[in-house]
Amino acid sequence: MDKDEQVRQIKKLLHRLDSGTNVDAGELFENPTNTYVDPILADQEREVFFKRTPQLVGLSGDLPQINSFLTINDLGTPVLAVRDRDGIFRAFVNSCRHRGVIVEQRDRGEARRFTCQFHRWTYDSEGTLVGLPKQEHFGEVDMNELGLLELPSLEKYGMLWVHPDPTGEINLKELLTQELLDELSLWNLGELEYLGNDVYDIACNWKLAMDTFGETYHFSSLHETTLYNAFHGNVQCYDTFGNNHRMLLCRRDIDDMRQLPESEWDITIATLPVYWLFPNVQLMPSQEGLYLLRAYPDPKEPGQHRSLINFYLRPEISANDEMRQMFTMISHVFAQVIRDEDYAVSASQQVTANSQTLKSVVFGRNEPALHHYHSTYKRVLESAK
Ligand code: FES
Ligand SMILES: [Fe+2]
């Protein structure tokens, strides 16, 4: 975020704090609860949002060097992402061309070759089939034709994008808008180092998990003894970028800005920026690093989802062992708050949605991100029909 925008947003927040006001959507929004349970909708979502749409699979730091790899198992299509011998980010369907066994089983690591456990067909980091045992018995095949199926991939602004459809295209400007890309580029995401992750399987629809990020109205109640110590509740800034949006959660340290000249104001001291990349990604940059949270629907059960929370650090912090340890601990605690507080209420919302006794719930004027998210969700699904 550029300096002028930082100052503008901090001023807005200070004004809201002083005047006891918050962002205002201008009206209430009624949201049908069947959006969290309907199996037909769930099928459409997986098709439209997770098979036909480019996916953010990580940051450049997830593939720190030549021959780093990463597997992604929550998109329907199994994906193997690699940094090849020329340092180029590439992605493949992680399925052996012999009889379809998943080739690389590990989550991440380093490898020059990928060998399928079934009959040891072996592929290199360009996806080329370089080993086929007992070819004289197997029969004549053109090994050049049997490499791993390549997927469209793009590394830009420190983000790793993959299209799960081999014929798909990745157009970041169309997905995120140029304005948001320009802003994300200022966070130097490409410098961040991967620190670790947490994975949570939770009995709630993936959109209920996303919804918990849509407001700070709940900070003084649900997070009374945790996040509320560090954040003001029910006050935020909110802006949209096409289907996506940005929230600025108000840290209590914003008060320090009052003593400082504007030239020293810093958005990461005053706020926690939360970029909600439609439909299932939250990017939260801070002074020390970044949290990347992604929610994926269960392939069968609409009332179940998986959240992946990745932690990253700025290199100067990562270089210091003590700091690294401290931020590992802080990151896990942060993720546990999401699991034990936010996702606990998400799971109870799911029980209500499952019962279908409440046909709808209501989003307040102070919850504009939820208005925008759910109306965008409906519009995009409708237009994909
Ligand atoms: S299925 Fe992979 S080597 Fe046979
Ligand atoms: Fe929360």
Rounded CA-CA distance 384/372 in Å is 18
129 lines ligand 1 (CB under 6 A): no
Shared domain for 146 and 80, answered yes or no, is: yes
Q: Residues 273, 143: one domain?
A: no
Residues of the chain above pLDDT 90, percent:
99
pLDDT per residue over 325-348, tens digit each? Answer: 999 999 999 999 999 999 999 999
Tokens representing residue 74 in the block: 């929550």
| Burial of residue 66, with CB atoms counted within 10 A of its CB: 0-12 exposed, 13-18 middle, 19 or more buried | middle
CB of 98 closer than 6 angstroms to any ligand 1 atom: yes
Q: Which two tokens stand for residue 371?
A: 């208005």
Q: Is 131 in the pocket of ligand 1 (CB under 6 A)?
A: no
Question: CA nearest 85: which of 117, 63, 100?
Answer: 63
pLDDT digits (tens, 9 = 90+) for 174-205: 999 999 999 999 999 999 999 999 999 999 99
For the CA of 101, the closest atom of ligand 1 is 1
Domain identity same for 268 and 236: yes
Position in ligand 1 atom list of the atom nearest CA 96: 2
- Same domain flag for 203 and 245: yes
Q: Is 365 in the pocket of ligand 1 (CB under 6 A)?
A: no
CA 95 – CA 305 distance, rounded (Å): 24
CA angle 341, 344, 350 (to 5 degrees): 145
Q: What pTM, to 2 d.p., does this model score? A: 0.96
Residue 105 Cβ contacting ligand 1 at under 6 Å: no
Q: Cα separation of 3 and 165, whole Å?
A: 39
**Which residues have a beta carbon within 5 Å of ligand 2, which is an ion?**
342
For the chain, the average pLDDT equals: 97
Token representation of residue 357: 């006794």
Over residues 28-67, the pLDDT tens digits come to 999 999 999 999 999 999 999 999 999 999 999 999 999 9
Tell how far the Cα of 169 is from the centroid of ligand 1, in angstroms.
29
For the CA of 119, the closest atom of ligand 1 is 3
Please check whether residue 204 is in contact with residue 304, taking contact to mean a CB–CB distance below 8 angstroms. Answer: yes
What integer is the mean pLDDT of 158-185?
A: 98
Of 103, 49, 44, give the one whose Cα is nearest residue 373. 49
Q: Give the pLDDT score at 295.
A: 98
Q: What percent of the chain has pLDDT over 70?
A: 100
User: How far does the centroid of ligand 2 lie from the alpha carbon of residue 248, in Å?
Assistant: 14
- Give CA–CA dist 192/211, Å, rounded: 27
| pLDDT for res 199 | 97
Specify whether 49 is located in the same domain as 59.
no
Rounded distance from Cα 115 to ligand 1 centre (Å): 9
The string of pLDDT tens digits covering residues 284-313 is 999 999 999 999 999 999 999 999 999 999
Burial 26-39 (b: 16+ CB within 10 A, else e): eeebebbbebbbbe
Q: How many domains is the chain partitioned into structurally? A: 2
DSSP letters along 101-153, please?
-BS--SSEEE-SEEE-TTT--EEETT--EEE-TTHHHH----GGG-SPPEE-E
Residues 42 and 83 in one domain: no
Residue 385 pLDDT level (bands cut at 50, 70, 90): confident
Render pLDDT for 212-267 as a digit per residue (tens, 0 to 9).
Answer: 999 999 999 999 999 999 999 999 999 999 999 999 999 999 999 999 999 999 99
Domain-ending residue, one of 127, 145, 170: 170
The answer to whether residues 323 and 358 belong to one domain is: yes
The bound ligand whose nearest atom lies closest to the alpha carbon of 247 is 2
Domain that holds residue 322: 3-53+173-383
* 140, 155, 170 - which closes a domain: 170
The helix (H) or strand (E) run that includes residue 42 is: helix 39-45
